[in-house]
Amino acid sequence: MSFWEPKNECMSRDELRQVQLERLQATLNRVCRNVSFYGKKFKEINFRPEDDLTEIKDIERLPFTTSRDISDSYPYEMFAVPLREVVRVHSSSGSTTNPRVVGYTAQDLRTWSNLVARILTSSGITRDDVMQITYGYGLLTGGLGIHYGAERIGASVLPTSVGRTERQIKIMQDFRTTVLVCTPTYALVIADRIEAMGIDTKKLSLRYCICAGEPWTEEMRAEIERRLFVKATDNYGVSEVMGPGIAGECLEQSGMHLQEDHFIAEIIDPETLRVLGPGEEGELVLTAITREAFPVIRYRTGDVCSIIEEPCQCGRSMRRISRILRRCDEMIVIKGINIIPNLIGEILQEIKGERPVFQLVAVREGHEDKLEIWVEVTEQLFYDKMREQKALVELMCRKVANFIGITPRIKLVEKGSLKREEGRVKPFADWRGLSDLEPPLKH
């Protein structure tokens, strides 16, 4: 097991708490002075960082920052430094609200690449590797975030960016890629295509798959490892807080180490906003304690996970978070029933042992709301025989109805036809004229 910064990654918990407290203190002083959003909020609750922060737990007195707050401060209102000190700007796409714009100083970029380097090292990657990065290289943080960390450790980087799967595979063959960086579903799309192209996966040089960008399961990990002959690790980032590099798995593959000397993590109940204890499942809240340009305080990530207190076999002292189970807001409400796409995925997966690519679609007929499940057809899941296909659809329908109390309509669609963003199918689309009018299929 190797380390990028062994001294920091393995510091004692006492030492870590001291580092966190000092950095939090400095950050709160700065945002109170330089970011009017926080200056006002702190004043409202009569919180003076220099007097009122004596232990890390005092953070619980502070208000949360939401993605809405960041949208509302579009574009630069929440920056804590003048724009001339900002050397990079990233931004979310933002469909119904203003995009969320995040800035980085030169020091922020050094910290960022360093933290990504830690995670890549903990996933087994070294300067001898050839890394193919299939994330978008644009305003989103995925591509460039991993890229700079990979260069930092001295790996050879292939910035192939998203899409064009056959070209990705050709590059993988010709350039002897050893590490594939992608979303877990894209890893499986690549595995499918490799097989369809008649390529012997064993002849590729792949050794590792660095996965992130969407909730996934142990079953998906097992499938990626089996079909691509790799070791697959999970890592986690949030653009508003930094990007990739916030947490990542070591080769123990049992939860993602939080970079606690740079971020303070809390888990809250998203309904009551109460702070939950270790092991309890809830929304992850992050405070950035070393960011210069954009230090967010108690940012509600919307991602549901839990914190693992037990020490890891690898020797890192940083606590871990479980895999991201779902988004708190990834819920569709039909006829007053809350439906979590991930749970539907689990039900569908039980039927044939394979999780199909699917999207929940809410439609309105007259005054009645209906749930449709659009499922992409695969060779393994559906057969040519109409009778068997029909039986399978009926079984899916019944299982889902038993579980959620609404009978869905299952629609089979062609493989690869559901619209993807960053290689990922959005878990639901609302066609009831309430919000999202985007059709689920690619044009």
Minimal distance, residue 312 CB to Zn ion, in Å: 3
CA gap 365, 356 in Å, rounded: 26
Residue 312 engages Zn ion in binding (rule: CB under 5 A): yes
Q: Which one among 169, 187, 314, 429 touches Zn ion, defined by CB under 5 A?
A: 314
- Please provide residue 61's backbone torsions phi and psi, each rounded to the nearest 5 degrees: -75, -20
Residue 150 engages Zn ion in binding (rule: CB under 5 A): no
Residues 12-42 as b or e (16 or more Cβ within 10 Å = b): eeeebeebbbebbbebbebbbeebebbeebb
Interface size with Zn ion, residues (CB under 5 A): 5
CA gap 353, 373 in Å, rounded: 18
Four-point Cα dihedral 141, 142, 144, 148, nearest 10: 110
Minimal distance, residue 313 CB to Zn ion, in Å: 6
Residues contacting 126, CB < 8 A, separation 6+: 2, 153, 154, 155
Minimal distance, residue 434 CB to Zn ion, in Å: 43
Residue 318 engages Zn ion in binding (rule: CB under 5 A): no
Q: By C-beta, is 289 or 314 nearer to Zn ion?
A: 314
Tokens of 351: 């039927």
Coil, strand or helix at 103: strand
Q: By C-beta, is 93 or 313 nearer to Zn ion?
A: 313
CA gap 41, 342 in Å, rounded: 36
Q: By C-beta, is 310 or 421 nearer to Zn ion?
A: 310
Minimal distance, residue 265 CB to Zn ion, in Å: 16
The neighbouring-strand residues paired with 103 are 89
Residue 172 engages Zn ion in binding (rule: CB under 5 A): no
Stretch that binds Zn ion, among 81-89, 135-143, 313-321, 343-351 (CB under 5 A): 313-321
Minimal distance, residue 259 CB to Zn ion, in Å: 13
Residue 3 engages Zn ion in binding (rule: CB under 5 A): no
Coil, strand or helix at 341: helix
**Among candidate residues 197, 162, 204, 200, the one with its CA nearest the CA of residue 181:** 162
CA gap 180, 172 in Å, rounded: 9
Minimal distance, residue 52 CB to Zn ion, in Å: 35
Compose the 121-140 pattern: x for residues touching Zn ion by CB under 5 A, - for all others.
--------------------
Minimal distance, residue 204 CB to Zn ion, in Å: 27
Give 401-412 as a DSSP string.
HHHHSSPPEEEE
Stretch that binds Zn ion, among 17-25, 172-180, 206-214, 306-314 (CB under 5 A): 306-314
Tokens of 164: 């064009």
Residues 231-260 that bind Zn ion (CB under 5 A): 250, 252
Q: By C-beta, is 4 or 135 nearer to Zn ion?
A: 4
List contacts with Zn ion (CB under 5 A): 250, 252, 312, 314, 316
